[in-house]
Each structure stands twice: as C-alpha cells, then as structure tokens.
Amino acid sequence: MSWYRSDDFAPLMLIVSGREQPTAVRSLREVADALIAAWPIDDGKEYIAAVKTCLDAIQGNIPAKTARAALIRAAEEAGIPVAAFVH
C-alpha cells in the first residue's frame, strides 16, 4: 500500500482548534501529517496508539482503515471534531 494513495481510505475532515480551515485527511500520508504537525496534544493514550497504528499501516502490516479508526479515536480523545465524507 502506498501511503500517498487514498484508494482504501475514506476521507475525513478534522476541525482543529486554532486553524482557519479544516484539515482534510485522505491518505495515510495525511494521517501522519495531521498527527505529527497539527495535533494539539502529544501524550494521550489514543494519540500514541494512532501514531503506532499509522506507522504499521504505512509499512503494510495492517489495513489503512485501521489507521483511520485509530485517528478518529485520537481525535475524540483530543476533543477534535471529525466529519466523514460520503462517497
């Protein structure tokens, strides 16, 4: 699985406080970017699990949808609203 492709990743929008626009997440690369560059906390249990899960998915050890689910749990932990796209 390429971490730049979004074939098996249902897109999300994260509404991160302090940012003018929502953050679109359409691939594992964008999951990694959101977790590393845009996350408001870096010590939550779900955040750490999401980082590890994203790395596992990038390496092809688990499906991208597992990393997506971990990102949603980390967002809930951090109080970040998540909007899913219907496609």
Confidence of residue 7 (pLDDT cuts 50, 70, 90): low
Q: Strand ranges (DSSP E) for the chain?
A: 12-14, 23-25, 82-84
pLDDT at 1: 47
Query: Residue 60 gets which letter from DSSP?
Result: T
Domain ranges of the chain: 12-84
Output the six-digit token pair for 53: 């899960």
| Termini Cα distance of the chain | 21
Q: Average of pLDDT values for 29-40? A: 89
pTM for the predicted model, two decimal places = 0.87
What share of the chain in percent tops pLDDT 90?
A: 61
Q: Collect all residues with Cβ–Cβ distance below 8 Å to 86 and sequence separation of at least 6.
A: none
